[in-house]
Amino acid sequence: MSDIPDPRFVLHRITSSEWVINDLRYPENDPRHVVACVYELAETEVEVTWLRELPLALRYGSAFEVLEEVERMQHTGRATRPISIPHRPPLLAT
């Protein structure tokens, strides 16, 4: 599933065609514990219902791809430096 020794996100199979992605940072009785529900549409396509506001796709090739995308989002979201915005004096009204 993941190369991370102590993963924050885990993929749990519910039925033969349904999974949930859980955030282990929150207890099971916390609504934030479930990040997404993943449903198999075909052998090479799954659909995701996001339970958090994440700017990610709704369809992937597999449930494992969804988990990898969530993990990638968590790692890159905090790893970038702020983008500096050049400051300029206000324009003079003529």
How many domains does one find in the chain? 1
* 84 is a domain residue: no
The verdict on residue 92 lying in a domain is no
Q: Is 39 among the domain residues?
A: yes
Which range marks the domain in which residue 25 is found? 9-76
pLDDT at residue number 86: 75
Residue 2 located in a structural domain: no
Q: Is residue 86 part of a domain?
A: no
Burial class of residue 66, CB neighbours in 10 A (0-12, 13-18, 19+): buried
Question: Is 4 contained in some domain?
Answer: no
**In the block, residue with structure tokens 């702020």:** 82
Q: What is the structure's pLDDT at 74?
A: 81
Full pLDDT tens readout for the chain, 94 residues: 445 556 899 999 999 999 999 999 999 999 999 999 999 999 999 999 999 988 999 999 999 999 999 999 887 655 556 677 777 777 777 6
In a domain, 33, yes or no: yes
The pLDDT, as a whole number, for residue 68 is 94
83 lies in some domain: no
